[in-house]
Amino acid sequence: MDPMKAQQLAAELEVEMMADMYNRMTNACHRKCVPPHYKEAELTKGESVCLDRCVAKYLDLHERLGRKLTELSVQDEEMMRKAAAGSG
């Protein structure tokens, strides 16, 4: 696969993953913070605060997981390189 095609595929995958994360976050925070039967057209102060905290926690966790996965990927690549060098 040529590098340009691979880069485009990676960008499309990243957009898809971000859209999925956004949908999951929206659904999870809505379930947690907004009652199923609306009493008012606007969010209450408590619902707004709950949603704000929920989104902040979700994004923080997503960032931490991303860093950890990147770290593990780098370690895995180093181990594979060492194994290839040792067997070659």
Domain-embedded: residue 28: yes
Print the domain residue range for 15.
Answer: 3-34+45-86
Q: Is 75 domain-assigned?
A: yes
Asked if 75 and 67 count as a contact pair (C-beta separation under 8 A), the reply is no
Distance between CA atoms of 4 and 17, rounded to whole angstroms?
A: 20
Instruction: Please indicate, yes or no, if residue 39 is contained in any of the structural domains.
Output: no
The structure tokens listed for 14 are 């990243």
Q: CATH code at 73? A: 1.10.287.810
The b-or-e profile of 34-57 (16+ CB within 10 A means b, else e) is eeeeeeeeeeeeeeeebbeebbee
Mean pLDDT by 10 residues, the chain (88 residues): 85 92 95 91 95 96 92 90 82
Is the model's pTM score more than 0.95? no
Query: Tell me, what's the pLDDT at 88?
Result: 61
